[in-house]
Amino acid sequence: MKRFEDYKEGAHDWITLSTGEYFPDILEDACLLYGPVLVLFGQLLKVSESSQRLFLQINEVSEPWMRIQLCRVFRKYVSPETPVEMLKKKSAAPMIIDQFGKGFRAVHEVQSAFNSRPNPDEALCALLWEYKSRGSKGYDLTERFFDMIRSYFPELRLTGPQRAGQDIKLSNVFADYPNPNRPVDFVLYDTDDTTPIVIGLARYDGDRGGAQEDDRTGGYVNCAKEVLAYGEEKGLNLKVLFVNDGPGLLLGSMWRDYSTIENIHPSKIMVATLRMIPERLTYEWMKA
C-alpha cells in the first residue's frame, strides 16, 4: 500500500481546497452584522470615564455573542496586547485590568480614534468578519470525512462531533486509559459495535508554519505513541488515523513531517487527506 510520502510528488493533486469569500463582496454583509456592535461600542465609550470603566461595561453585556464582539473591538482600539481568549472570560476582568490596565489607551484617545472612522467602519467590520469563519473549514473537513466513512463502511460505527462539539476524551472510551483527558476527534468501532479499532484526529491546515507546525506534529507524535502503547499493553489492535487536508500541507516541511509520523509504525498509523481515504483506508488495514 502506498504511504503518505509516496504522494509527495503530486501533492497538490491530493489536497482538498475549501472555497473562500471574495473581497470586497463580503463588506455589505459584514457591515450589516457588525454595524450594531460598533454602535453599541460607541455608546458605551461615550459614557465611560476611563478605558478600565469601558471594559467593565462591556463585560456587563449579557448576550454572549455581542459581548465577545465588543471585546474584539476593545482589543483593537484599547489593548492589543491583551490575549483574545482572556478577554472572553467574564471572570477574568479584574485580572485583566490589574495586569494590562496600565497599558490601556486613554479613553479620550480611544474616543478620538473611534470618531475619526466612518460609520459603519468597513475596515473593522471586515476584520471582525474574519473571526466569523474561523474554524469553519475544519468543520467542513470533519463533516465530509464522516459522510465518506459512513458511505464506505456502513457496517462500522463512527462516533465524534461531525462539526462543532466537544472532543471525545479517551477515558470515555477506555475506562482505564492512563491519560484521561486525551482528546480525539473520532473513534471508529468494529462490526460488533463495541470494539474500538481506529482512534483519530481531523484537522484542516490552512496557512501553517513555524511554531504552529512544530506544535501540530509534536502533538501528533505524542498522541500516536500513547494510543499504540496503551493498545499493546491491553492487547488491543488499535490504529491511529490523522485526517489532514488543505494548502498548509504544501508549506514548509509539513508533508515530510507527517510522513515521518506515519513511518513510526506504518501498519498502525496513517496520515491521509480526504482524497486518499478511498484508496488507502481499508477494512483490511484496520484489522491487520
Torsion of CA 99, 105, 111, 117, to 10 degrees: -110
152/275 same-domain check: yes
Mark whether 128 and 257 lie in a shared domain: no
Domain end, chosen from 87, 106, 132, is at 132
Q: Are residue 181 and residue 255 in the same domain, yes or no?
A: yes
182 and 258, same structural domain? yes
21 within domain boundaries: no
Grid cell of 121 as nine digits: 467602519
**42, amino acid identity:** G
CATH number of the domain enclosing 178? 3.40.580
Residue 33 domain boundaries? 27-132
Q: Are residues 147 and 269 in the same domain?
A: yes
275 assigned to some structural domain: yes
On whether both 90 and 187 belong to a single domain, the answer is no
Per-residue pLDDT of the chain (288 residues; tens, 9 = 90+): 899 999 999 999 999 866 667 889 999 999 999 999 999 999 999 999 999 999 999 999 999 999 999 999 999 999 999 887 788 788 888 999 999 999 999 999 999 999 999 999 999 999 999 887 665 677 788 889 999 999 999 999 999 998 777 899 999 999 999 999 999 999 999 999 999 999 999 998 876 544 455 567 889 999 999 999 999 999 999 999 999 998 889 888 889 999 999 999 999 999 999 999 999 999 999 998
Say if residue 34 is in the same domain as residue 95: yes
Do 243 and 103 share a structural domain? no
User: What is the domain count for the chain?
Assistant: 2
CA 58 vs CA 31, 35, 79, 101: distances in Å: 20, 16, 14, 15
115 and 250 together in one domain: no
- What is the pairing mode between strands 269-272 and 239-245? parallel
Cis ω for the linkage preceding 120 (within 30 of 0): yes
